[in-house]
Structure 1
Amino acid sequence: MVRILFLAIAVALSGCATNQLHFASYSTEAELAEIRNTEINIELVEVSGAESCTKCTESSKIVWHAANYNGFFYEGFAQIPVSDWSAFTKSALNPAANSKTQAKIVINRIFLKTWQNPQYYACQSEISIFINNQKYNGKSIVKIRGSGQELLRANLAQLNHDALEAIQLSLKSAYLNAMK
């Protein structure tokens, strides 16, 4: 009976984005370098789908999940502090300036998680890319050791710049995944 209960709980939690990121493997330096160094030969003409949440939950389309235990437990869901997702995505992909291939990207989901012990920050990105009336779907998880946040007080965490770079790496990796 205990085994069945444990199995049922494990199956229920496996679909949860926060658990997928918590139990994901860490990205290696070689993997991150490959993502950074791969050139994208498209002209990115449009980015859409970036809907920021006001009352953020785990199921929000674009969300940051901060979790911490430092003498007290803090967990919250918040808006990712990016005001222009089109410019942010273009910066992430760093596409070629004079490419003949035009692409549109739809952001389907961005889930950023930061955790204090063990310290890591991780991002899951899901995008759709449209090139010449063809649709390509990409998904990626980037997980990096280190602090992606600072706990300022009991109910206030602050995202650091490194976590934003992880989002950009995850977006670029999702693009590369879609184009395989």
Structure 2
Amino acid sequence: MLVFLVLVGCATNRLHFAPYTSDVDLLAIENHKTHTAVTDVTGIERCSTCSEMSKIVWHAANYNGGLYEGFANIPVANWPEFIRQAIGSEAAASMKTRVEIERIFIKTWNSPDYYACQAKLSVYVGATKYVGESTVKIKGSGQELVAPRLASMTGEGLKAVSIALKAAYIDALRDPGEDSAD
């Protein structure tokens, strides 16, 4: 029983056993207009020794004749701009928000091929804090294995991060009376 609880508790296993996100849900997230302007992004941390516990991290796992697992920074150079684009921030929008990254964890795996991302954000409207979370899991690789122990994240992998961030933002600002889409 304890082993099961430990496996369920770690982010990599939660993503591995999560259901796939439907194409309809992915499209709904992408097409959702937020009508907000993100004025500031905080909580950005790059890990020097990345692990499952890192705040913003990519877990690449591959089976190619032998198991390889590694943790690395998500290859995003400018997080504030990446988040603004992911959310669909509009500079002229009347609602201004601040975003704090609580956690971004993406896992890519090749057997079966999938890439999955969990995101948790705090969104501030004035002094009021709203928290949103999301999990997005997509069939496909999200990575390329460039050497036996070296993976490179693809554009599809980064798109999953973008969609998960937007879904977490939508979740944070969702009207409590709305049905959950994730």
Tell me which interval the TM-score lies in, with the shorter structure as reference length: over 0.9
In structure 2, the partner of 1:137 is 131
> Within 1, Cα distance between the matches of 2:26 and 2:139?
12
Q: 104, 107, 110: which one pairs with 2:104?
A: 110
> Within 2, Cα distance between the matches of 1:167 and 1:80?
9
**Code of the aligned partner of 2:110:** Q
> Within 2, Cα distance between the matches of 1:49 and 1:87?
14
In structure 1, the partner of 2:4 is 10
In structure 2, the partner of 1:3 is none
> Within 2, Cα distance between the matches of 1:155 and 1:71?
11
Unaligned ranges ≥5, structure 1: 1-6
1:74 and 2:68 correspond: yes
In structure 1, the partner of 2:140 is 146
In structure 1, the partner of 2:179 is none
Q: Is the 8 A contact 1:104 1:130 kept in 2?
A: yes
Residue 141 of structure 1 and its aligned partner are, at CA, apart by 0.4
**Deviating runs (4+, > 4 A) in structure 1?**
none
Q: 153, 162, 168: which one pairs with 1:159?
A: 153
Q: Percent identity?
A: 46
In structure 2, the partner of 1:54 is 48
**Who wins on radius of gyration, i.e. which is larger?**
1
Unaligned ranges ≥5, structure 2: 175-182
Q: 30, 36, 43: which one pairs with 2:30?
A: 36
In structure 2, the partner of 1:120 is 114
> How many residues are aligned here?
174
In structure 1, the partner of 2:58 is 64
In structure 2, the partner of 1:4 is none
> Within 2, Cα distance between the matches of 1:50 and 1:24?
26
> Within 1, Cα distance between the matches of 2:53 and 2:65?
28
Residue 172 of structure 1 and its aligned partner are, at CA, apart by 0.2
**Code of the aligned partner of 2:172:** A
Q: Is the 8 A contact 2:64 2:148 kept in 1?
A: no
